[in-house]
Structure 1
Amino acid sequence: MLKVLFAPLQGYTTGIYRAAHAKIFGGIEAYYAPFLRIENGHPRERDLRDLETPAGVPGSPRVIPQVIANSVEEFKILADALLQKGFTEIDFNMGCPFPMQVNRHRGSGLLGDTQAVQAIMGEIARQSATETARFSVKMRLGQDSPDEAFALLPILNDTPLTHITLHPRLGKQQYKGAIDIKSFEKFYRECRHPLVYNGNITDVSQINEIERRYPNLAGVMIGRGLLARPSLASEYRTGATESKFISKLFQMHQIIFEHARQTFQGDSQILAHVQSFWDYLEPSIPKKTFKRIKKAGKLSVYADAVSTLLPENQHE
C-alpha cells in the first residue's frame, strides 16, 4: 500500500487544519506545511508560527516543514531556523509554479539553474552527513521544458534524499493542461531515490491505478483532492467509502471554527479564517447550504448555515 502524503497549500493546510484532519479523518503518513520563505532577509515569522500544532487540539500529526529558496544562502538561513526549532525532516520546494515565486528564481523557477541547485544539494549533503536532518525534494518536470528535470537528475541521484516528489507538469502550466506521463515514467525509471507521485488525484480508483501501474513507487502526495474529499486517504487504506462523511466533516469544521473564535476577534476576522474551509467542498454538500455558508457576513448566520449539515437538520 502506498504512503499518502498531504500536500501543502497556502491558506488552506494551516496548523489547525492539519491537526483537525488528523484527529477526524486521518490516513495520512505526513502533513507537509506550506513553504517557509525569506522575508526581509529573515524566515517569515508567520510561517514559523504555523508549524506548531495549536494548543488544545488533541494529537500531534507528523508535520514536515518545507522551504523555498533561490540560493544556497537563503536555503541555509531557512534550514537553520527549522533545525533550531527541533525539526529533523525538511522538504525543499522546486515545484511552486506561481509567478510571484518563479520570478524571484524560486520554486519551479529554479529548475533551469543547474549551478544553484547543485550548490543547494551540496549543502543538503553536508547537513545530512552530520545527521542534523533528513531532506526531501518536491519538484516539477521543469519550468519550460522536461529537459530541466533530467539535467538535474544526476545531481539529485547523488544527493542523500529520503525521497523526491514529482508533479509531472511544467511550471508554466501551473495547474492546467495535460500531465506529461511519458516524462514521469522516464523519471521513475531513472530516479535512484524513492519517488512520490503528485498531481490531479481526486479519488481512490486513481490511487489504486497508480499503485498497480508503478509498483516501485513510494507514495502519492495529494493536495486539492484531499481538500475536496478529506476522507480520501482513509478510504484508500480501508477500501471502503466513509459512511459518516458529512458528520465527520462537521466535526472537523467545528475544531477549526472553535479555534478561530478563540484566536481572532470580530465576525469578519473569524469568517475570513473559516469560510475558506468550504472552497473545495462545494460538490460534497447541498448547493443551497454552500451558498449560505459563503455569503454569510455574520457568525450567527454562518453557524446556522453550517448546522444544516447535521442529520437532524436536513429537513430545513
Structure 2
Amino acid sequence: MQVLFAPLQGYTTGIYRKVHAEIFGGVDAYYAPFLRIENGHPREKDLRDLDGAIDCKLDGGFDSIGGNCNSVARAKTVPQIIANSAGEFKVLADAILQKGFTEIDFNMGCPFPMQVSRHRGAGLLNDTRTVQEIMDEIARLSAAGTARFSVKMRLGQDSPDEAFALLPILNDAPLTQITLHPRLGRQQYKGALDIPSFEKFYNECRHPLIYNGDITSVGQIRKIESGYPKLAGIMIGRGMLARPSLAAEYKAATDANAVSENELLSKILKMHGKLYEHARSTYQGDSQILSHIRSFWDYLEPSLPKKVFKKIQKAGKLNEYDVAIQSLNMEQADG
C-alpha cells in the first residue's frame, strides 16, 4: 500500500518534510498543512511553506517544483486546502496552481473548533449543498486538465450519517482518492474509532480509499492491510512523528522493527541536527529559535530518557538546550 504522511500544523513543515524524506524515507507522499483564507486572501505563511517543496513523480521520473529532487528524497508534496465555500475553494486552488502544483487535497476533516466554527474542515460535513458546489468546482478544474483532486475527511462532525449523506456526491466527483479518519469531528483525537462505519464506507465508496487514524506500529499496518485488501493506502500523522522510521519499516516487508532503537535514535539526532541548523540560520534570538525546534521532540518523548526530555523542555537558552542535546548524543553513543 501507499504510505502517506498526514499534515500536522506546526510539525510537518516544509523543512521537516524534506529532511524526513532524506533521512528516513518510505513515504510515498507528504501532505502539507492546509492553506486557508486569512483577511480575504490565501495565508502567506502557508504559501511560503510550499516554497521549495519536493514534488517528485513516483514513476521514476522527476518533477522539480521550486526545488531540486534527488535520488535520496524521492517523495512528493501534496498541498492541502480548507474552505467553507466554493468561492474560498477557488481562490485557494488558484493560488496553489500558480505555484505549479497539479495535485490538491481538500480538507473536510479538521476537528479544531476554530475551523469547525467557521464552517471549515469537519464543520462542512453536514452541509451537502456547499460540498456539492465545491465538488462542481473540482469537476470544472479536473475537466480542464488543470489539476487532480482528493479529499481527506471524517465520518461527520456529529454523526456518521453526515458522511453517508455526502457519499453519493463524492462518488460522482472526479476524485483520485478519499482519506477517511473514522472518528467524528467533535471527538477530535479522543474516543473510540468507529470501525463499523468505516467498513460501511469502505464497501460503498467508489474511489480508492485511504485509511487514517491511530496507526503506531508495523503490526497495525499489516492488520489493516489484511483486513481491507481493497485499500489504496494508509495515512499516518502522529504515529510517524513518534516513530519517524515507521513507513520505512513497513516498506521493508517485515513484521519486526527494521530499525533498532539505537539506530532509530541515531537517525532522529541526525534529523534534528539538520532542522536545528535550519532554525539557527533562519530565526534570531534564543526564544525564537527554540520555539521552532523544541516541538520536534513533542511526540518523541517515549524514545528518550526522561531526564533528557525534561532538560530539553525546560531549556530557556540555546546553551542549555545544546547541553541537553549533547547528553542525548552521549546516551546514543553509549547505546
Task: Classify the TM-score, shorter chain.
Answer: over 0.9
Provide the C-alpha distance between the structure 1 equivalents of 2:318 and 2:202, rounded to a whole number of angstroms.
49
Confirm whether residue 13 of structure 1 aligns to residue 32 of structure 2: no
* Partner in structure 1 of residue 158 of structure 2: 144
Q: Does structure 1 retain, via aligned residues, the 8 Å contact 2:26–2:247? A: yes
Instruction: Check 1:262–1:312 CA distance in 2 against 1; reply closer, same or farther (3 A cut).
Output: same
Cα gap change, 1:300 to 1:313, in 2 (>3 Å): farther
3-state SS in 1 of match to 2:129? helix
Q: How does 1:30-109 map to 2 (within 5 A)?
A: 30-53=29-52, 59=73, 61-109=75-123
Q: C-alpha deviations, 1:48-86, integer Å up to 9, x for none?
A: 000123789974741000000000000000000000010
Q: 1:7–1:31: 8 Å Cα contact kept in structure 2? A: yes
Mean Cα displacement is larger for which, 211-220 or 50-59? Answer: 50-59
Instruction: Quote the offset at 1:314 in angstroms.
Output: 5.2
| In 2, Cα distance between equivalents of 1:201 and 1:290 | 23
| Structure 1 portions without partners, runs of 5+ | none
Q: Distance in 1 between matches of 2:74 and 2:214?
A: 28
Q: Would you say the 8 A contact 2:265–2:332 is kept in 1?
A: no
SS in 2 for 1:92: strand
Letter matched to residue 115 of structure 1? R
Among 291, 294, 299, the alignment partner of 1:275 is 294
In structure 1, give the amino acid aligned to 2:26: G
Whole-Å separation in 1 of the counterparts to 2:160 and 2:225 = 23
Runs of 4+ residues deviating >6 angstroms: 54-58
Deviation at 1:298, TM superposition (A): 1.2
TM-score by length of 2: 0.91
CA distance in 2, matches of 1:281, 1:241: 18
The CA deviation at 1:312 is 7.0
Cα offset, 1:304, TM superposition: 1.9
How far the C-alpha of 1:306 sits from its partner, in A, is 1.1
Q: Matched residues in 1 for 2:328 and 2:211: separation?
A: 34
Aligned to 2:64: none
1:223 corresponds to which of 237, 241, 249:
237
User: How far did 1:263 drift?
Assistant: 0.2
Distance 2:320 2:99 in 1: 40
Which structure 2 residues correspond to residues 154-165 of structure 1 after superposition, within 5 A? 154-165=168-179
CA contact (8 A) 2:115 2:121 kept: yes
Query: Which residue does the alignment assign to 2:195?
Result: 181
Which of 233, 241, 245 is the aligned partner of 2:258? 241
Distance (Å, rounded) in 1 between the aligned partners of 2:331 and 2:44: 43
- Is 1:195–2:195 an aligned residue pair? no
Identity of counterpart residues, as a percentage? 71
Distance 1:189 1:313 in 2: 47
2:22 corresponding residue in structure 1:
23
Indicate the SS of the match to 2:210.
strand
Q: How many residue pairs align between the two structures?
A: 315
Deviations 1:215-249 (A, max 9, x none): 00000000000000000000111124212101100
In structure 2, the gaps of 5 or more residues are 54-66
Distance 2:75 2:273 in 1: 18
Letter in 1 for 2:23: I
Cα deviations by residue, 1:80-103 (Å, 9 ceiling, x for unpaired): 000001010000000000100000
Moved more, 233-242 or 244-253: 233-242
2:304 to 281, 285, 288: 285
Contact 1:102-1:109 at 8 Å conserved across structures: yes
* Structure 2 residue matching 1:242: 3-state secondary structure: coil
Deviation at 1:307, TM superposition (A): 2.1
TM-score, normalized by length of structure 1?
0.97
User: How far 1:309 moved relative to its partner?
Assistant: 2.4
Q: CA deviation at 1:252?
A: 0.3
Are residues 301 and 314 of structure 1, via their aligned partners in 2, closer, same or farther at CA, if it must alter by over 3 Å?
farther
SS of structure 2 residue aligned to 1:162: strand
Q: Offset of 1:313 from its aligned partner?
A: 6.5
The more displaced of 22-31 and 49-58 is: 49-58
Pick the aligned partner of 1:296 from 294, 305, 315.
Answer: 315
**Secondary structure at the residue paired with 1:217?**
coil
2:207 aligned counterpart, secondary structure: coil
C-alpha distance in 2, partners of 1:57/1:296?
Answer: 36
